[in-house]
Amino acid sequence: MGEVVAVLGGGQLGRMLGLAGVPLGLSFRFLDPSPEAPAQALGPLVVGALGDEAALRDVARGATAVTYEWEGVPAEGARALEQLGYAVRPGPNALEVAQDRLGEKETFRRLGIPVPAFAAVDTRDELARALDDIGTPAVLKTRRGGYDGKGQVMLHRASAVEAAWAELGAPAVLEQMVRFDRELSVLAVRSLAGETRCYPLVENRHAAERGTGGILRASRAPAPAVTPALQAAGEAIAGRLLDDLGYVGVLAIELFQVGDELLANEFAPRVHNSGHWTIEGAETSQFENHLRAMLGRPLGSTNARGHSVMLNCIGAMPDIDRVLAVPGAHLHDYGKTPREGRKLGHVTVTAATAEELDDRVARLEFLVDA
C-alpha cells in the first residue's frame, strides 16, 4: 500500500482528485456528512461532520497528507489535525481567509491587488451609509457561507436598503456592482518548495438566477484575446496571494476584467470548477498538480493542449450517446442524485483550433443544460 491522502469533503472535487491520484499510486480516504458522497467511488468514506474531531481523526489516520475539497471545512478542525502532526495542505490559514468575504477583500487590498469598492456592513445604518459611498447598483453579500450566487442581494436604488437589510442582514459586505467586460479566473499551483505556476487565464460565464450572478455555466480555456500583459497581470495577482498565504496546492481566483484591468472578486483555496477543463485540456490537470504539490513532488506543466470549453450539467444530465458522438467531447458524470440547480456533471470539449471548438460547442449546447 502506497501513500494515503485524506480528503475533507467527498463531493465531485474529491472524486476527481481521486481519479487523478490513482495513476500516481495513491490511495484515498474521504470525510463527508453524506453517505452518498460521490467520491466514495475512489476510496473509503468516513461519514461524519467536517468539524467532528473523532471523524477527522478517523479519516486522517495513517495519511501522508490531508487536503480539503470544500472551503466550508471548519478551520479549527483542520488545525486540530495539524496539531496532531498531520501535514494539512493547503494550510488552515487559507480556509480562514477565504471563509470571510471581508477578510478576503482586505487581504487582496493589503497585497495591492485591485478589488471593487467595498465596505463592511454590521448594522442597517452602516448599510445606508455604505450605499451612499458606493452608489448603485451595488450588491450586498453575506460575509460567510455564500456560494453559487446564494447569499447575495442586488441594490438598484437607495430605497432598496430596507428590503436588502430584511433579506440578508449582517454581517455582510456591500460591494460596487462592476460593469465588467467579462469574468476570468486564474488557477495557480504552488509547490512545497514555493514555486508557483499558473494555467492560462480562463473565461467564465455565470448565469443569473435572480438578478445577481450565480452558478458557473461554462468556461473557455485559454480565454480568447488575452494579451501577454493581461496574462502577466493575472499571474502577478496569483503569485502575490499564494506567497502571502504560504500556500501549497491549487488555488483559483475569480476576476472581473474591465478594459485592461483585472479586479479580484474572490478566491477558492482548492481545485475549482473553472479548472475542470485541465483534465483533458492541459498538460497536467489541476487535480494532479494539487496532489503533486501537497506531496512535495515536482509540479507538472500548466500549458494548455489546444482549446477547451467546459459546460456544467446543472439539474439534469444530457443524453450520453449524443454527447459522446461529438468529436473531442468528454463526459464527466459525478454520480449524484438529480436536483434542480445541482451540478451533476460536466462536459469538456477540446479542439485543435478555436474555429473547430466553436462548431463542437454549438453541437453540445443543444444537449447540455448549462
Ligand X SMILES: Nc1ncnc2c1ncn2[C@@H]1O[C@H](COP(=O)(O)OP(=O)(O)O)[C@@H](O)[C@H]1O
Q: Which helix (H) or strand (E) holds 160?
A: none
CA-to-CA separations, 47 to 39, 53, 139, 290, 314, in angstroms, rounded: 12, 12, 37, 24, 25
| Whether the Cβ atoms of residue 241 and residue 93 lie closer than 8 Å to each other | no
Asked if residue 219 binds ligand X (CB under 6 A), the reply is no
Q: State the nearest-atom distance from the C-beta of 181 to ligand X, in Å.
A: 11
Tell the smallest beta-carbon distance from residue 152 to ligand X (Å).
6
Q: Left (φ > 0), alpha (ψ -120 to 50) or beta: where does 255 sit?
A: beta
Closest approach of ligand X to the CB of residue 175, in Å: 4
CA 37/CA 53 separation, integer angstroms? 19
Taking the C-alpha atoms of residue 155 and residue 140, their distance in angstroms, rounded to an integer, is 7
Q: Nearest to ligand X by Cβ — which residue? A: 213
148 binds ligand X (CB under 6 A): yes
315 touches ligand X (CB under 6 A): no
Q: Which lies closer to Mg ion via its Cβ, residue 104 or residue 254?
A: 254
Q: 71 touches which of Mg ion, ligand X, none (CB within 5 to 8 A by kind)?
A: none
Output the smallest distance, CB 105 to Mg ion, in A.
Answer: 13
d(CA 309, CA 276): 10
Nearer to ligand X, 99 or 265 (CB): 265
Radius of gyration of the chain (CA): 20
Q: How many residues bind ligand X (CB under 6 A)?
A: 17
Q: Which does 206 bind (CB under 5 to 8 A by kind): Mg ion, ligand X, none?
A: ligand X
**104 near ligand X, rule: CB under 6 A:** no
Report the chain's terminal Cα–Cα distance, integer Å: 40
Q: Considering the complex, state which of residue 235 and residue 254 has its C-beta at the smaller distance from Mg ion.
A: 254
User: Is the distance from CB of 47 to CB of 33 less than 8 angstroms?
Assistant: yes
Q: Interface with ligand X by CB under 6 A: which range of 12-20, 170-178, 278-286, 339-347?
A: 170-178
**Interface pattern 217-256 for Mg ion (x via CB under 5 A):** -------------------------------------x--
41: contact with ligand X by CB under 6 A: no
Which residue in the set 235, 266, 280, 288 belongs to the binding site for ligand X (CB under 6 A)? 266
Instruction: Give the cell for residue 132.
Output: 451612499
Question: For residues 195-214, which are near ligand X according to CB under 6 A?
Answer: 206, 212-213
By CB under 6 A, tell whether 178 contacts ligand X. yes
Considering only residues 254, 262, 281, 310, which one is a binding residue for ligand X as defined by CB under 6 A? 254
If we measure between CA atoms, which residue out of 65, 91, 69 comes closest to residue 78? 91
Q: State yes or no: residue 146 binds ligand X (CB under 6 A).
A: yes
- For residues 350 and 276, the answer to whether their CB atoms sit within 8 Å is no
Applying CB under 6 A, which of residues 175, 203, 280, 288 lies at the interface with ligand X? 175
Specify the residue, 210 or 305, whose C-beta has the smaller distance to ligand X.
210
Lateral strand order in the sheet of 152-155: 118-121, 172-176, 138-142, 152-155
Instruction: Output the CA torsion 82→85→89→93 (10° steps).
Output: 20
C-alpha span between 69 and 144 (Å, rounded):
17
Q: In what order do the strands lie in the sheet with 4-8?
A: 45-47, 27-32, 4-8, 65-68
Q: Which residues form the interface with ligand X (CB under 6 A)?
A: 116, 139, 146-149, 175-178, 183, 206, 212-213, 254, 265-266
Q: Which residues form the interface with Mg ion (CB under 5 A)?
A: 254
